[in-house]
Amino acid sequence: MEKFEKLTGVAAPLPVVNVDTDMIIPKDYLKTIKRTGLGKGLFAEARYREDGSENPDFVLNKPAYRGAKIIVAGDNFGCGSSREHAPWALLDFGIRCVISTSFADIFYNNCFKNGILPIVVSPKDLEKLMDDAERGSNAILTIDLEAQEITGPDGGHLHFDIDAGRRHILLEGLDDIASTLKSDAAISSFETKNRSDRPWL
């Protein structure tokens, strides 16, 4: 998993509450178990018209936001079903960070497992960040995970809180398997001793 240390990029405003995982990646795209190629389906029902052409009014289709790396969203982002395809689609599109006042628990946990940083901020701070994100090509935010700080286009700073263990996982780029392998020596030592102490197992 790619490490997340410091991210600078365009932030796209999505001032919608209760964005569910079906909106993030519609069910038509759930036939694959591959993590790649899902970016084209991200917000598909909002991004595309019925004839398959792009909806020019959707934020990620606007020239300033096509390369967005951050989404500033309304309350309760990622609610609904527990599909892990939702963070896969965000990551495949290029989104590495989502900022909101709250997230659905399963989506929040899935983000960390896939190298995406979900940041919870206060309603007051979200209002400031949404204003920053609405600046088009000037909507540049810097997310410093080590310092737990967001820097806006005017140089203002916002602090955010994050669980220390989850912060470490992202800084080191550790998925569940890599985290387990960090304890490989201890596991091997236990297994060797266990085989000696309990040979009947």
- Could you report the per-residue pLDDT of 4-24, keeping only the tens digit for each? 999 999 999 999 999 999 999
Q: Helix (H, G, I), strand (E, B), or coil: what is residue 172? A: helix
pTM of the model: 0.86
Q: At how many degrees (to 10) do helices 164-172 and 105-113 cross?
A: 40
Give the tens place of pLDDT for each residue, 114-144: 999 999 999 999 999 999 999 998 999 999 9
What is residue 178's predicted lDDT score, i.e. its pLDDT?
Answer: 56
181: pLDDT strictly greater than 60: no
6-174 to CATH, choices 3.20.19.10, 3.30.1330.10, 1.10.3720.10, 3.40.50.880 = 3.20.19.10
For 119, list phi and psi in degrees, rounded to 5.
-110, 130
- Strand locations in 15-131 (E): 70-73, 97-100, 117-120
What is residue 98's predicted lDDT score, i.e. its pLDDT?
Answer: 98
Give the tens place of pLDDT for each residue, 21-71: 999 999 988 888 788 899 999 999 999 999 999 999 999 999 999 999 999
Q: At how many degrees (to 10) do helices 85-93 and 105-113 cross?
A: 50
